Amino acid sequence: MKRYGALETGGTKMVLAVLDEQGHFLERAKMPTTTPEETMAEMIAFFRQHPVSALGIGSFGPLDLNPSSPTFGSITASPKLAWRNFPIVPEFTNALQIPVAMDTDVNAAALAEATLGAAKGLASCLYVTVGTGIGGGLILGGKPVHGLLHPEIGHIPVNPLPGDPLPEGICPYHGCCLEGMASGPAIKKKWGLSARDLPESHPAWELESEYLSQLCTIAILAFSPEKIILGGGVMQQKFIFPMIRQKALKKLGNYIVHPAVAEGLREYIVEPGLGTDSGILGAWLLAKQCAAPAVPAV
C-alpha cells in the first residue's frame, strides 16, 4: 500500500499526516512552530517513524516556486523571521530521500476544494483563508495559478470604512491591505477580543464583511472564478456569510449577469466543503502528483 506524507505549515503549528492512495488518514500529528532547527528535526523524525513514498507541503509564504531558481523550494521574505530564506524542500528531500512537492498553503487548499470539495467538478475557484493571516489560492483551468511569484490575495489594498478604529491597518508592509484590516490579529487589535469572542451584534462584523466583500468583488471582476470559498478561523462565524454576499452583490451593481449572481451569491460565496482539512488534503494531492511517474513525451 502506498503511503503519502502531507504537511501544512502554519505560523503557530505544523499539521502532519500520512494518508493512503484513497486519502484515508493513517497518522496525524500537530507540533508547535518554533525555529527551523527544532521544528524540522521533529517533522523529519515523524516521517522517518511513518515512512512515505512522497511528501506534499502546503506552506505559508512567500515561496520560491520557480524550478529554475537557485533558491527553489525555499520560504523567502516571510514575516516569520526565523523561517525567512529557509530551504524547506531541499531539507526534506535530503533528509528523507523521497520526492517532495510544495505550493502555498492556500493553493493547496484550493486544489483540494477543486478536486474533492466545494468546487468539485469546476475548472476554477478561489480559496481564501481568513485567520492569523489572509491568503488566497486561485485555480484556473484546473491548475493552481503561479506567475512572477504566486497570488498574494491577502495583500490587496482595501478602502477603510468610516468608523474603523484602526484605519491604518496592522500589516507591516502595506498597512491597510486586506490582511492588515480583516485578519484575526487585526480584529483583536481593534476590539481587544478575538473573532470567536465577539457577539454577532458587534460592529466589528460590519467592518469585516465590508472588507471581505471588497475582496470578493475584486475577485469576481478580475478572475471570474466559478466559486469563492472562504475558510479559516474567522470564517467559523457563519453568520458573516450573508453579510458578505449582500455587500458584494451591491458592489457588483447589476453588471455581472449570471444565475449565480441573480440568486444572491448563496451558492457562490461558500464555506469549504472539506471543513478544516482543505490544506492537509491539498498537500496529500501534491504528494500524489510528484510521486506519479512522468508521462514520456510523444
Amino acid present at 260: A
For residue 297, pLDDT over 50 is answered with: no
Q: What is the mean pLDDT of residues 159-183?
A: 95
pLDDT value of residue 93: 98
Distance CA 294, CA 217 (A): 39
Tell me the average pLDDT of the chain.
95
Q: pLDDT tens across 79-130, in order?
A: 788 999 999 999 999 999 999 999 999 999 999 999 999 999 999 999 999 9
pLDDT value of residue 148: 82
For residue 39, pLDDT over 60 is answered with: yes
Percent of the chain topping pLDDT 70: 98
- CB 290 within 8 Å of CB 103: no
- Give the domains, in start order, of the chain with CATH numbers: 3-104+276-291 (3.30.420.40), 118-272 (3.30.420.40)
- CB 96 within 8 Å of CB 55: yes
- CB 291 within 8 Å of CB 2: yes
